[in-house]
Amino acid sequence: MKKGICTLYIIRHGETEWNRDKIVMGQKDAPLTGSGVCQAQELGALLAPIDFSAAYTSDSPRAFITAKIVSGARLIPLRKSSQLRERHFARFEGMPSAEYREKNRASLLAKDALSEEKRWDFKIAGCVESDASLVKRVLSMLRRIALIHKGEKVLVSTHGGPIRFLLMKLGFAPYGSLPGGSFKNCGYIVVGSDGTEFNIIIEVHGVSTHESTDKKSRG
């Protein structure tokens, strides 16, 4: 990695009870399942050789606990940020995913009919956080981290939505090609940044484009 480039290891939290039960989570929270804890432990073992100088996490407990497990015995503080949270699903948080899709069928179809540019700014039901808003706040935080930690390796614990839309924004995949559930729990990506540009995708682990939103929860 070039001097002055921060290497960001961006991870998704382990499976939660609401992921398992297919419930829209968003910025609400649910405990990690036993499987979710094991996923975090396995990821921690995989990333054990990485010399992280810092760790940042969404302030959602599921992301914080995952970061704590993955960071292991490293003597680095876990810095929380609300900018790394999952998409805000407003009044739909806590609702079964199938019910969310049914209630918002017309709005989802209306979004699909728009141009890509307009879809980025579209709010489902007029209240769910837009794709553009989600990516903007996450990128803003990642830029801050990269500027602070130039030349260093940093662990960032966040959620499926932010990672999926970051990958699409950076050109890893076409817009709309990574639906909910297509980035696995405790999957991770490695991105290089100078604090301005995010055009270096070094590694991607955890993408499964064959998984449908019908089978997964959002969060």
pLDDT tens digits for 154-190? 999 999 999 999 999 999 999 999 998 899 999 999 9
Which pTM value belongs to this model?
0.93
Q: Is residue 81 in some structural domain? A: yes
* Residue 129 domain flag: no
Domain assignment present for residue 143? The answer is: yes
101 domain residue, yes or no: no
Structural domain contains residue 123? no
Is the pLDDT at 211 greater than 80, yes or no?
A: no
Residues annotated as part of the active site: 13, 86
Total count of domains within the chain: 1
Written as one string, the DSSP assignment of 14-39 is: PPBHHHHTTB--TTS--PBPHHHHHH
**Per-residue pLDDT tens for 98-130?**
999 999 999 999 999 999 999 999 999 999 999
102 within some domain: no
| Domain CATH for 75 | 3.40.50.1240
Q: What is the enclosing helix (H) or strand (E) of 181?
A: none
Residue 186 lies in a domain: yes
Burial class of residue 35 (count of CB atoms within 10 Å of its CB; 0-12, 13-18, 19+): middle
- Kindly give, in sequence order, each residue whose CB lies less than 8 Å from that of residue 197, ignoring residues fewer than 6 positions away: none
Q: For residues 82 and 85, what is the distance between their CA atoms, to the nearest angstrom?
A: 5
Instruction: Please check whether residue 120 lies inside any domain of the structure.
Output: no
Quickly state the pLDDT bin for 46 (edges 50, 70, 90).
very high
Half-sphere exposure of 25 (CA within 13 A, CB side): 28
Distances from the Cα of 29 to the Cαs of 88, 135, 157, in angstroms? 12, 20, 15
Tell me the residue range of the domain where 204 lies.
6-95+135-215
